[in-house]
Structure 1
């Protein structure tokens, strides 16, 4: 059995942190669904998180910028929620990719939280969130060359290498969700209590959307400083 293990290093950096998880199995991610209305509505809702004229005065942006100063990062790395909100603010609509990715993008935009997902079958051994030793293999989405993790970088990794670098910045091609994915782990991260409240609402909504859209009710887990490991 595989496990998701959140290492002590994460909790030391973010003692109010929370990782919400939805594990979904027996999925048909090849279904044809019309996600665009959901994505469009979520994009409209997301504008509420970027109302300040100065970009870094928006709390979602400033909080994650500060978080990324707490560990080693690749130059220019930003939280996935910042990238998504920036794209949205600039008027670039989020387009449909595949059902699971579409649904977590809907939730990310709606609640202003970073969401991501991995194909469980492609995870080699346990999935860990902790500090990289440095040199962990990582082929980014859309790239052709290896871009290894840095020593001291907070990232997800398994026995083969890095799965998602700089916490939630960029994911690997190796474990990405595709239309052939049948088992998935979907993650929502929070680094303080206010974010955790939104993340708790978000994971419930994500569970509902997956059930309504794909016909499978996933199982929710909450990882906290007193509950740091789950069996997937």
Structure 2
């Protein structure tokens, strides 16, 4: 699986730091340690709201640069932190999704996870041409706006819209998921170091909680 950001994205957002974790052998019956990550989020939110965090502020600037209103379209980590702050917890969906959400809370960094059985050959973060197809979680098909930042595979499917705002239902993790690509992206001043720490912590928890995992690979860029 080839994952990369287009040269245009790299040029427009030179501050971007990304980390990738590839794992095989995922099952729906693991029990990851979520509490150690959510405890970090609780401590950080005790001093203010998610809007005060430098990680979130950096993504708000990026969304503004893309021509999006940051309080209308939030990055995934801001949406999770906002819900967590208001409700005190997040719903349980699948052990891997729950883990990625908890890690995203702790680091205030968007973490996306894709079922590779539903991604065609490659995944590129790039500007849409307007002909790509995006499947919502409700089963509706949309077409991203031309110029919108998306995660696109080799067959023109958009697996995320508005960059880190919303993932597709097509490649969402499900009980049959085995191989996954997990992507963390950040823009703040210490993004490179924080993303490297995040991917290491995530990989260790994957290996601990999933004895069935056959391979875990980390790459930071």
Q: What is the TM-score when the length of structure 2 is the normalising length?
A: 0.89
Q: After superposition, give the CA deviation of every residue in 1:59-85 in whole Å (9 maximum; x if it has no partner).
A: 233221111112255892210000011
2:2 is aligned with 1:3: yes
Q: In structure 1, what is the Cα distance between the partners aligned to 2:186 and 2:77?
A: 11
100 and 73 in structure 1: CA distance in 2 versus 1, 3 angstrom threshold: same
Q: In structure 2, what is the Cα distance between the partners aligned to 1:167 and 1:102?
A: 21
2:59 is aligned with 1:64: yes
Q: In structure 2, what is the Cα distance between the partners aligned to 1:91 and 1:220?
A: 33
11 and 28 in structure 1: CA distance in 2 versus 1, 3 angstrom threshold: closer
3-state DSSP class of the match of 1:177?
coil
Q: Is residue 26–residue 179 contact of structure 2 (8 Å, CA) maintained in 1?
A: no
Counterpart position of 2:98: 102
Consecutive unaligned residues of structure 1, counting only runs of 5 or more, are 224-232
Counterpart position of 2:136: 140
Q: After superposition, give the CA deviation of every residue in 1:165-210 in whole Å (9 maximum; x if it has no partner).
A: 1111111111111111111001110124412221111100000000
Alpha-carbon offset, residue 48 of structure 1: 3.8
Choose from 34, 37, 40 the match for 1:45.
40
Consecutive unaligned residues of structure 2, counting only runs of 5 or more, are none
3-state DSSP class of the match of 2:34?
helix
Counterpart position of 1:222: 220
Q: In structure 1, what is the Cα distance between the partners aligned to 2:89 and 2:180?
A: 25
Aligned alpha-carbon RMSD (Å): 2.1
Q: In structure 1, what is the Cα distance between the partners aligned to 2:88 and 2:52?
A: 21
Counterpart position of 1:13: 12
39 and 172 in structure 1: CA distance in 2 versus 1, 3 angstrom threshold: same
Q: In structure 2, what is the Cα distance between the partners aligned to 1:111 and 1:198?
A: 8
Q: In structure 1, what is the Cα distance between the partners aligned to 2:75 and 2:41?
A: 15
19 and 144 in structure 1: CA distance in 2 versus 1, 3 angstrom threshold: same
Q: Name segments (4+ residues, structure 1) moved above 4 Å.
A: 51-55, 72-75
72 and 119 in structure 1: CA distance in 2 versus 1, 3 angstrom threshold: farther
3-state DSSP class of the match of 2:142?
coil
205 and 15 in structure 1: CA distance in 2 versus 1, 3 angstrom threshold: same
Q: In structure 1, what is the Cα distance between the partners aligned to 2:123 and 2:68?
A: 20
Choose from 123, 127, 134 the match for 1:131.
127
151 and 22 in structure 1: CA distance in 2 versus 1, 3 angstrom threshold: same
Q: After superposition, give the CA deviation of every residue in 1:111-148 in whole Å (9 maximum; x if it has no partner).
A: 2211110011110131111111124211122x232222
